[in-house]
Amino acid sequence: MKKLFTPMYFIVFLLLFCFSLNAQVLGEGGWRIGEKQIRISADNPEHVQNLYNLKLNLDFHGPAYDYIIGYVTPSELLKI
């Protein structure tokens, strides 16, 4: 009976490994083509309001929220 379970455990482990590897490789496909991370200083309130109005994917960072991290495509970068 032990001889039957040993190959079965190996097959289950191999399948789990393949699925996790596949998820890591294909998981990057969720990003938009050409998307990159940018950092923008947030020292001008008017500029920050204009960025907010563009409805981009932006996050405020820093202890005093003094900079913005954005994830933009090349076409969105031209708008900024």
Strands of 67-72's sheet in order across? 36-41, 67-72, 57-61
Q: Cα separation of 72 and 52, whole Å?
A: 13
Do 48 and 68 form a contact (C-beta atoms < 8 A)?
Answer: yes
pLDDT in tens, 10-57: 888 888 777 765 555 555 544 777 788 888 888 888 888 888 888 888
Single-letter amino acid code for the residue at 49: Q
Q: Contact, 73 vs 57, CB < 8 A? A: no
In the chain, the number of structural domains is 2
**Domain match, 38 and 21 both:** no
Q: What is the DSSP letter of 58?
A: E
Residues 23 and 44 in one domain: no
pLDDT band at 3 (very low <50, low <70, confident <90, very high): low
37 and 70, same domain (yes or no): yes
Q: 74 and 36 in one domain?
A: yes
More confident residue, 70 or 26: 70
More confident site: 1 or 39:
39
Residue 32 carries which DSSP code?
A: P
Whether residues 22 and 60 fall in one domain = no
Domain of residue 2 covers 1-30
22 and 5 assigned to the same domain: yes
- Whether residues 77 and 42 share a domain: the answer is yes
pLDDT (mean) for 55-63:
79
Q: What is the pTM of this model?
A: 0.52
